[in-house]
Every structure is written in structure tokens, then in C-alpha cells.
Amino acid sequence: MSGDLDSIIDQAAAWQLASAGDDMDWDGFTRWLEADPRHARAFDELELTADRVEAHRDTLMPAALPVAANDEEPIAPARARGGWWRWTGGAVAAALAVAMVVPRFMTPDPAVYVTTGQSRTIALEDGSRIELAPRSRLEVGGRQQEQLALAGGAWFDIRHDPGRAMRIRAGDVTISDIGTRFDVQATQDSTRVAVAEGKVEVASAALVAPVVLARGTALQIDPGNHSAQVQRLEEAQIGTWRSGRLSYSNAPLSLVAADLRRYAGVKVEVPESLANRQFSGTLVIGDGTAALRDLSRLMDLGLERGAAGYSLSARSR
């Protein structure tokens, strides 16, 4: 009488959305529930679904996810495809002008990969491989799989193809001219690119001009501190998370904490006063709390467990 399950779920979703508002029609809702016992069932399921989304919010939407419309040129949001997935520029615009008639064919929907507790390997059609770190997200779009967007961490092993202009957007940077193996870590606060083999070009609003990174170098950009620095790194230190270790040389503590959260799943607060203390060394990820204990010992910091996770503090002597 009141339609199939699909339309029942639609109605239930509308009531659920309305029920959060001040102008909810509770009498209308009561009558809708009374009309068919399946209505209450559908509403229950949507409430449980919402509860599960809420319960997993930290893993579902990593803090590192860039948020649309704040950090990009203003485009009418309703027109934008895919929120933070937005590639604009002369070449794309020109291509669109030609492709207007069959836009679906010319710009296929990007494939989206999301990880929670485990990393996963993504193979591109040309044989390139990407290892997506835990609690990260990668979008692969473009006809040649040449438009990538990363939030979180990933190890890239990309075949060099001069005929393809691959670009990877990650945090505050755009990586191009790629033919190499390199590691990218993009969080809300900072972005790191480290090259183990070959070279890449990195452009960013934080840089006056694009930087070419060669083998054994890393670039770290912290927009908050207005800092960007290039550093030499042992190749063996790059992408070590893949073998269960995190290696650092002179890395700010805030960054180590962000990594521990992503790779070891432990939440740790770093007070402002310690955020820029530098750490060099290797942590074993396997047991997150053990890694954290090692870190606190190596740096002679206090470690406390609170309701929301752990916190590091300067040791009073």
C-alpha cells in the first residue's frame, strides 16, 4: 500500500533528517509510523546506521581529509564534482569544451579507495603500484588514471610515462613529473614527500616556485608554521611504515604523533610547547602503546593515559 521498501527507506531518511530540526512534524511522523509496521523497522535501521557512522567517525573520515571549498579557487560548490576532488586548469577546461556532449565518457568517476586499520595495495593499469597506508584515502581519476588525490599516507611506485601527465594532489602540494618510487604523508597540518628513487616535482602555494626532489631527499611543508624544508634522507628510511617501522631524523613531535595515530592507531596529544621538539630514531609500529612508550623514553617525556587517549608532557625535574 505504501510502496516498496526502497521508497519506505527514502521516506524514513527524510523523517530522520527532519527529526533533528526544530520544525519537525511529530504528528505527521506518528501517522506515518502507524500506516505500516515496516515504517518503524526502516526508521530503526536508519537510526542504527547513523549510530554506527557516529561510532566510527574517527576512522571513517580521517582528520587528514582536505575539506572542499576552503582551500581552492571559488567554484560554485553545487557544480563541483566530488567535493575535494577538483581538477581545474586550462587543459581540463579546454577538454571539457569539446567533451560537453558526452561528459560521462570523458571524465569517468574517480575510483575511491579508503583504508581503516590495514594498508592495501592498488595496482594501476600500467603496472604502477600504490600502497595506501592505514586510515587513508586515495582517489584515482582521469582517463589514463593520471589524476590522483591523497589524504593520509601512501607509497607510490609509478612507471614513468612521458605521454601521461600524472598529478597527485596531497594536502598542500601537487606532485607532478613523476617516474619513481616515493612516499607521501599528507595530514591536516603538514605534508611530506620523500623520494627513494628517481625524482618528482612538487608545487605548493607555500613555495615560491616548484621544487624538484631527487632520490634521497624529502620535502616537508607546514603551512601553519609557514615553513618548508628540504632534507636529505637515507633511502632505507623512506616508506619504512610498510615494514612496520617509523623512521625519523629531526622530525617535529607533532608529526610523529600524527603518524602514530595513523599507523599504530594510538591517539596521543602533544602539547603546543612540545610540538616542535625534534625526534630522530625508529619506532616499531606493531604494538602502538609500546611505540609510544619507546618514544616517551627516548625523548625523556612524561606519558599519561587520559579518557581521550594518551598525552605527552615535559618531565618536571
Partner 1 sequence: MESATGLNALFDRHRAELLRFLRARCGQDQEAEDCLQELWIKASQDRAGPIANGRAYLFRMANNLVSDLRRGQLRAMRRDRHWIEAEGEVDAPELRPDPGPLADAALIEREEAEVLAQAIAALPPGARRALQLHRIDGHSQAQVAEIMGISRSGVEKHMAVAMKNLRSALVDCGFFGAAGSQQQGRSEAAALRPDDMT
- Looking at the DSSP bridge assignments, the partners of residue 214 are 199
Among 3, 90, 91, 112, binds partner 1 (CB under 8 A): 112
CA–CA separation, 74 and 84 (whole Å): 12
Report the candidate in 34, 37, 32 with the shortest Cα–Cα distance to residue 14: 32
- Looking at the DSSP bridge assignments, the partners of residue 74 are none
Report the candidate in 296, 252, 247 with the shortest Cα–Cα distance to residue 310: 296
Closer CB to partner 1, 44 or 234, in the complex: 44
Stretch that binds partner 1, among 58-66, 176-184, 190-198, 223-231 (CB under 8 A): 58-66
Site string for partner 1, 80-109 (x = CB under 8 A): -xxx-x------------------------
10 binds partner 1 (CB under 8 A): yes
Q: Count CB atoms within 10 A of the CB of residue 312.
A: 22
300 binds partner 1 (CB under 8 A): no
Are 200 and 178 in contact by the 8 Å Cβ rule? The answer is yes
CA–CA separation, 4 and 238 (whole Å): 54
Q: Count CB atoms within 10 A of the CB of residue 308.
A: 8
**Residues of span 17-46 touching partner 1 by CB under 8 A:** 17-22, 24, 26-27, 29-30, 33-34, 37, 40-41, 43-46
Among 64, 114, 150, 246, binds partner 1 (CB under 8 A): 114
Query: Which are the contacts of 182, defined by CB distance < 8 A and separation ≥ 6?
Result: 155, 156, 175, 193, 194, 195, 196, 197, 198, 200, 213, 238, 239
> CB 235 → partner 1: shortest distance, Å?
32
Closer CB to partner 1, 151 or 256, in the complex: 151
Closer CB to partner 1, 85 or 242, in the complex: 85
Stretch that binds partner 1, among 71-79, 210-218, 272-280, 292-300 (CB under 8 A): 71-79
Can you give the binding site for partner 1, defined by CB under 8 A? 6, 9-10, 13-14, 16-22, 24, 26-27, 29-30, 33-34, 37, 40-41, 43-57, 59-61, 68-69, 76-78, 81-83, 85, 112-117, 137
